Structure formats: C-alpha cells, structure tokens
Chains A and B, each alone.
Chain A
C-alpha cells in the first residue's frame, strides 16, 4: 500500500494544484506549525508528508470532509476531540462489509447498527461502544463526522444513525451493558420490521426481533442480543486480522487475534530497538533552534516546493540537527533531494530547488547524523563527487 500510495501522490504533486494537495497543504501547515513552534504557518505543504504517511488518493478525498486539527501543540486536550473521529473504513471496503454483514442477519437491527457503527466510526460511536463507560465530553465533539456517516449508511437504505444514538442513549441512561428490550416484542411472528428505526433520536430501548421458533422470554432475548453483539464484533475483528476470514469458530478466531496482537507488540519492540540503534548519532536537543533559524527567511511557494519542505521539515525534526550545522552550500541540495525521501520524484524537487536550499540542507546533513566536528568536510567532498 505504501509505495503505491506514495507514488500516486507523488505523481499528483508533479501536476497542478489538486484538492488532495490543498488538503495536504493544510495538514502540512499544521504539522509544521506544531513541529517548529516559532514558524509562521505560511509554508505550503505538499504531498510528501502524506506520501510518507502513505495516503492513497481516495483517502485524501475523505480528508476533505474532515477539517484538519489546527490546535497548538500545547493543548493536547484539543487533540482528543479531533482525534475522536479516527476510524474510517475505505469506501469500497465499507460497501463490501455491509453487504456481507447484511445477509445472514436479516432480523436483528442491533447487529446492523453495530456493523454500521464499526464501519463508520464516528466520534459519537465511541461513547456508545464503550458501553456507558467513560463518556468524556470531549468525545462528543463530532462536527466533521456528522456529515459523512449518514451519507455512507444511506445507500444501505437503513437509518442507522438514530438507532445508534438510541443505543447510546440507552446505555447512557441505564448504564448497563446488558441489552434492554422493549416489552412488546415478546411476540415473535408478526411484527413490523423491527429494523425500522424511529426517526426519534433518543429512544431508550433497542428493538430486538425474536425469530420464529425461538424462545421469547426476556432472558433468552437478552442472551441472543448479547451473542449477536459479540458475533458482530468477532466478524469485524476477523476482517481486521489477516487470514482470519476462513476460520470458523470463536476459539480459533480468538487465537488468531491473540497471535496478531502479540506479533504487533513484538514488532513495536523490535522497531524501537532498531530506532535506538540508529539514534545515537542523532541529537534532538538543538532542533527547535536550528529550524527556527533556517525556516524564518524562507518563503515557501508552490505545492511542489511544499512537498519537499514538508518531508524535509518532518525529517529534519526527527533527525534533528547537531548544534553546529547552520548553512549548507547549494551543491548539496540535490543530494538531499534524493536522500530524504527516496520515493519522491526528484523532478518535483529540482523544480523548486532555488527556493529551499538552506531549508533542505540541514536536514540532509542531520539525517546522515554525523558529528559536526569531524565529518562535515568529508560529507561535502562526497557530495561534490556525486554531483
């Protein structure tokens, strides 16, 4: 996914302004303003950062719905509401998932609600899904997502949102994780489609349809609803964990999930070990100082240049420069273009070379991570040889 995505965005960058670029521009601005706190957010951003994040084109369009978080770095509190709308299913996957999920469970509206809720994981889902647990008020801020989720379930033809809110209200009101059902639905056979959710937002009960030939007492209904809940989540987890879709049976699927989580945790440990091995030559202490000095006089122009600067700023921030590096001779610039992000098309950057020599170069050198005292002349020699 990553190389494809980044190449896609890279090719987009080489052209004119596209909506994706505009969106990533905004993100780049935020990132830069966060990373370099003294930086005036006049720099345009480009696809490089998003390329770095592996943003494919269709997801960039999704970002249009979501105004980027522009909070200052100090307030981490504000990041939680904006980070609240975190999970988005890709459009194609969503349709496939809902199609798959809709078939076997014709009767249960709650399952359908859950499926939709997991498919489009809006901020007001998290209170519902945490089952009346910590409903932090910050999570309720969901302006950007209120548009997109209704459009997505709408094609499915079911108003799921009201039922989700209903569910949320129910769990809030009762503060009980168990299912609650209305008293009327103890009649099994003839009942208007329980999936029809009322348009009212705040119904306290979830209507569960009892299937034909099954017990209709409240306990079994509760149990069945609970089981369907668990089955819905198991299905989602099955889709998430690779290689799990063919496995039948709860225990085996749980096995796979556990293995997956363990492998991810081990990967994190391993990667942090590798990063620690890389890091000794990189010192982050002089970061802000360097970047404020370098970035002040720069006037970043087009999106393409922004792309370079975006990645460069990101890279420079992580790589941080050692204290002594300030000014780089221009010949090193092209070297940096290849260096920082190998996936980027070099043509993009060469076009805007003139604008960002200083800016790119300190990250370039810092990326190499050498001691300022000894190796500067050595590196410049190497660079001249390359050029």
Chain B
C-alpha cells in the first residue's frame, strides 16, 4: 500500500504553508524550538492532508490542547479548525444495548467455561492478555486510539502507518534538497584547486 500522489502533494502544500507561517520567528528560536515548530507543522500538514479520519482528529485535538499551538492550527486549518477539533458526539462510543451485551457476555462465559473445563489449559487466557497488552500499547501510540475498538483500531493503525511513512519520505526528500547543494558546493570547491595544481605540474 502506498500513499497517493494527491496526498503527498496536499501534504507538501500544507507543510510549506506551515513553514512559511512559522518562519517569522525563526531567527530568535533555539534549536529545540525550531525542531518542535517543524514537527508541529509536519504533523498538522499530515493530518490536514489526510482529511477526516479518527486518528487525524485525535492528532489535531491533541495538538490543540496546548495553547501555543492553537493559533498556529487556526491559521493553517482556517475554517477546518472548528470542524476538526469539535469532539464528535462526545468521545465517539459505539452505541451498545446493555441487555444484548449482558446476554452475550453470559453466553460467552458459559461457553468458555464449558470448553475450559475439559482442557484445563490457560493458554487461551495467556494469549489474550498478551494481545490485550499490545492492543493497549497500540492504542496509546495511534492518536485518538483510546476509544476505538479492536478492528477500527487496526484500521486507523494501518492508515496512520501509511501516512507516517509518507511523512518520513517527504521530510527526507526535503532534507536532501536542502543539503545536496551544500554538499555539491563543497565538493566542487575542491575541484578547481585540484585542476590548478594539475596545470601547474
């Protein structure tokens, strides 16, 4: 799976806009501040380029919790800001009927008890706790993942991984575009000296 070109282009557009907006105070910032500003604009660009997904909303909400980022976010997103950060339907919980849930739990536990007694092996429980632990870890990693259930969590994780990869690619390309001329200039500077020495000989 790969991110489409339109996504990368939208991403780049937003990133450049974010750089431009945040560059006003660049000279006065320390390295750490610049780095967090760059990371912020990169994250916002990724979230806004992706559109409306659970993780994008979670990410924007998380970023807008800090006051200093809010003005930046408002500038970048413009009209989108209100739409994205308003919590949708309160933290979106999948509506469940209590009666049905209780009934299914009863059936499930009954079935598990019937199956467990003959085997007497707790491997299933062990496996389940392992998976649960990792699911919780994944929930913490994916923005906005706390309130998701198992399969939508995997959905969002998939999406998030693709966008993260695209982000890393884009930033690497940016970096090479910045640094390539300097490296070439350095290498080319040495050439004429060599030529001169050659001619001299």
Given contacts A279-B34, A382-B188, contact A367 B178 (CB under 8 A): yes
B118 to chain A, nearest CB (A): 17
Q: Does A271 contact B168, Cβ atoms closer than 8 Å?
A: yes
In the bound complex, CA of A55 to CA of B166 (Å): 13
Closest A residue by C-beta to B129:
A251
User: Does A167 lie at the interface of the complex (its beta carbon under 8 Å from any beta carbon of B)?
Assistant: no
Given contacts A284-B20, A315-B177, contact A254 B49 (CB under 8 A): no
Given contacts A271-B172, A386-B192, contact A76 B134 (CB under 8 A): no
A220 to chain B, nearest CB (A): 8
Q: Does A272 contact B54, Cβ atoms closer than 8 Å?
A: no
Q: Does A83 contact B5, Cβ atoms closer than 8 Å?
A: no
Closest A residue by C-beta to B160:
A261
A132 to chain B, nearest CB (A): 8
- Which residues of B (179-195) have their CB < 8 Å from a CB of A? 179-182, 184-185, 188-189, 191-192
Residue in B31, B80, B142, B174 whose Cβ sees the most chain A Cβ within 10 Å: B174
Closest B residue by C-beta to A261:
B141
In the assembled complex, which residues on chain A have CB atoms less than 8 Å from the CB atom of B17? 73
User: Does A52 lie at the interface of the complex (its beta carbon under 8 Å from any beta carbon of B)?
Assistant: yes
* Dominant secondary structure at the A interface: helix
User: Does B94 lie at the interface of the complex (its beta carbon under 8 Å from any beta carbon of A)?
Assistant: yes
Q: Does A77 contact B157, Cβ atoms closer than 8 Å?
A: no
Which among A31, A83, A126, A385 is the interface contact of B49 at CB below 8 angstroms?
Answer: A83
Q: Does B2 contact A87, Cβ atoms closer than 8 Å?
A: yes
In the bound complex, CA of A83 to CA of B166 (Å): 14
In the bound complex, CA of A121 to CA of B134 (Å): 26
In the bound complex, CA of A283 to CA of B20 (Å): 9
Which among A27, A90, A277 is the interface contact of B2 at CB below 8 angstroms?
Answer: A90
* Dominant secondary structure at the B interface: helix
Closest B residue by C-beta to A130:
B54
- Which residues of B (130-157) have their CB < 8 Å from a CB of A? 130-131, 134-135, 137-138, 141-142, 149-152, 154-155, 157
User: Does A357 lie at the interface of the complex (its beta carbon under 8 Å from any beta carbon of B)?
Assistant: no
Q: Does A131 contact B152, Cβ atoms closer than 8 Å?
A: yes
A291 to chain B, nearest CB (A): 11
Interface string of B3-20 (1 = CB under 8 A from A): 111111110111011011
User: Could you list 12 A-B pairs, sorted by A, with CB under 8 Å?
Assistant: A76-B77, A86-B50, A87-B3, A118-B1, A129-B155, A176-B95, A251-B134, A257-B161, A276-B31, A278-B179, A284-B26, A339-B185
Question: A residues near B, CB below 8 A?
Answer: 2, 27, 30-31, 34-35, 50, 52-55, 59, 62-63, 66, 68-69, 73-77, 79-90, 93, 118, 121, 126, 129-134, 136, 138-139, 175-177, 219, 222-223, 226, 229-230, 233-234, 236-237, 239-241, 250-251, 254-255, 257-258, 260-262, 264-265, 267-269, 271-280, 282-285, 287-288, 314-315, 317-320, 335, 338-342, 364, 367-369, 382, 385-386
Question: B residues near A, CB below 8 A?
Answer: 1-10, 12-14, 16-17, 19-20, 23-24, 26-27, 31, 34-39, 42, 48-54, 57, 76-80, 88, 92, 94-96, 104, 107-108, 127, 130-131, 134-135, 137-138, 141-142, 149-152, 154-155, 157-162, 164-165, 167-169, 171-175, 177-182, 184-185, 188-189, 191-192
Give 3 closest A-B pairs by Cβ, nearest first.
A284-B23, A80-B51, A276-B34
Besides A81-B51, A132-B94, A230-B154, 14 new A-B residue pairs in contact (Cβ under 8 A), listed by A number: A2-B173, A27-B5, A63-B5, A68-B9, A121-B1, A233-B154, A237-B158, A240-B161, A255-B134, A261-B160, A264-B167, A275-B35, A275-B174, A367-B177
